[in-house]
Amino acid sequence: MALTLPPHPDPLAGRIHRDGLLHDLSYAFGGPFHYLLPERFDANLAAFRAALAEAGVEGRVYYAKKANKAAVFAERCAGTGAGVDVASHGELREALGHGVRGEDLVVTGPAKADRLLRTAALQGSLIAVDSPDELERVLELDAPRPVRVLLRRHPPAQPRSRFGLDGEQLDAALLRCAAAGDRLRMEGFSFHLSGYEVRPRADLAGELVDLCRRARALGLRADRISIGGGFAVDYTAAGHWAAFLAEQGPGHYHADRSFTPGDFYPYHSPVAGADALRAVLAARPGGAGATLAERLREAGVALLLEPGRALLDRAGSSVFRVQGVKDRAGYGIVTVDGTSLSLSEQWFNSEYLPDPALLPAEPAVGESPAGPTGPPTADDGPYRACVGGASCLDSDLLSWRKIAFPRRPRIGDLLVYPNTAGYQMDSNESPFHDLPLPPKVVLHGRGGRLRWRLDQRPAV
């Protein structure tokens, strides 16, 4: 039995796939590439803002930049007044370079480099302090105005997290902030939880509101909290995901590889994206009393959030060209012109599961209309194949799973992995084998046709 995981239908992606543009781009670049849909990013951002507005909560969305390196998303943040969450000097430089103002940045990550702290302080960015020694380094900065900080809370419900200050450290840090006077502006507290659950986020946010009251009693400003990211993306319908988990086993993968279901991303989430924020705001921290939204309003505390993946939902896909197809007992091996480094999930003991789309080859310029591989033949029945990368590593597979193709793929067909903008695209890409990094193109609908440009325009 073929094991499938169909992504949610996406009419715009369907239109793009029927257009000849992807073939033209594959021909032009001579290798894999990613396409980006910035209007989708805008819509996701607007949905988060709408959820804040509906709940009557003051708030601010910061795009977690690590989820995708493309310039266009930072440009959209600058253009729409959204903030950006950066965790390295490079990310900070990129965000500033694309027009995001320093004061609209929040700087996260553990034990930040000195020059990251220094630049952030000079730019008036908000620094999420992760540890007591980092707070000391912040206090030693020679900044022309008070350095804006949040104190990051170690999550009591995730005791193994390596991030944040525990209860005792927070108490000490608050006194330290209070004694620092004008050198510091303590604006509140933050956390970022792994996983995608609503309840722990609401619970910890409730605690942070109480912490703001305590901090204010010490004379600190403490008028905002950040609840980090971790708003789920819903890639597929509940039924597809349940069936996938129930059926999947080693026989469905190349080399009988076995995957631990718990290592898969939860490809279906009943509450995702901006709806997850709605649910957090409507939840009652601790299980009783006022909702989080009510507590924020009552305390005059603003809610910051740092979604990465959820802002990128359906905002991009990855396109590979079939370079070879060979048969094995009972299935095939398709080899494409890129590597599994362009699908990061493969490097976490896991697999990116939404089914790729197979777009039939178009004859290349100068070739006979039938193309290099001849006319369609008896290949035309369903065909299962794993998808390998163009490297010399046996474990370089984009899909270990034997994907259920409608027919045997042919050289020159394109394989489009859907919805890859959030973390899949470029987190792990490298020029391995001296293969060039896949370029990114930005697509816009314009009247009846698609326009494209490079994400990174050539330097002038």
Give the binding site for ligand PLP (CB under 6 A). 64, 66-67, 85, 108, 192, 228-231, 306-310
Query: Which residues partner with 328 through β-bridges?
Result: 331
Q: Residue 1, SS3?
A: coil
Q: How far is the CB of 423 from ligand PLP (least distance, A)?
A: 7
Question: Between 228 and 332, whose beta carbon lies closer to ligand PLP?
Answer: 228
Between helices 38-54 and 71-80, what is the axis angle to 10°?
40
CA distances from 171 to 153, 175, 211, 315, 382 (A): 11, 7, 10, 42, 63
Question: Between 91 and 396, whose beta carbon lies closer to ligand PLP?
Answer: 91
CA distances from 238 to 8, 188, 266, 270, 271 (A): 10, 38, 10, 8, 11
Question: Between 230 and 388, whose beta carbon lies closer to ligand PLP?
Answer: 230
Between helices 198-217 and 273-282, what is the axis angle to 10°?
50
Q: How far is the CB of 229 from ligand PLP (least distance, A)?
A: 2
Which residue in 423, 435, 430, 413 sits closest to 23, CA to CA?
A: 413
Tokens describing residue 181: 């006077």
What's the CA gap between 226 and 214, in Å, rounded?
17
Q: Integer distance in angstroms from the first to the last C-alpha of the chain?
A: 54
Q: For the chain, what's the residue count?
A: 460
Q: How far is the CB of 205 from ligand PLP (least distance, A)?
A: 14
Q: How far is the CB of 204 from ligand PLP (least distance, A)?
A: 13
Question: Between 48 and 320, whose beta carbon lies closer to ligand PLP?
Answer: 48
Tokens describing residue 182: 């004008």
Residues 285, 292: contact at Cβ < 8 Å?
Answer: yes
Question: Between 269 and 342, whose beta carbon lies closer to ligand PLP?
Answer: 269
Question: Between 40 and 252, whose beta carbon lies closer to ligand PLP?
Answer: 40
Place of tokens 């994400």: 455
Tokens describing residue 329: 């007992």
CA distances from 165 to 77, 161, 162, 379 (A): 30, 11, 9, 60
Q: How far is the CB of 253 from ligand PLP (least distance, A)?
A: 26
Question: Between 253 and 352, whose beta carbon lies closer to ligand PLP?
Answer: 352
What's the CA gap between 194 and 190, in Å, rounded?
14
Question: Between 194 and 291, whose beta carbon lies closer to ligand PLP?
Answer: 194
Q: How far is the CB of 194 from ligand PLP (least distance, A)?
A: 8
Q: How far is the CB of 135 from ligand PLP (least distance, A)?
A: 17
Q: How far is the CB of 365 from ligand PLP (least distance, A)?
A: 41
Residues 186, 151: contact at Cβ < 8 Å?
Answer: yes
Question: Between 207 and 294, whose beta carbon lies closer to ligand PLP?
Answer: 207
**Bridge-based pairing state of the strands 414-417 and 316-328:** antiparallel
Q: How far is the CB of 152 from ligand PLP (least distance, A)?
A: 8
Question: Between 229 and 371, whose beta carbon lies closer to ligand PLP?
Answer: 229
DSSP secondary structure code for residue 153 in this structure: B
What's the CA gap between 336 and 372, in Å, rounded?
16
Which residue in 148, 92, 138, 136 sits closest to 117, CA to CA?
A: 138
Q: How far is the CB of 87 from ligand PLP (least distance, A)?
A: 7
Question: Between 4 and 194, whose beta carbon lies closer to ligand PLP?
Answer: 194
Q: How far is the CB of 168 from ligand PLP (least distance, A)?
A: 22
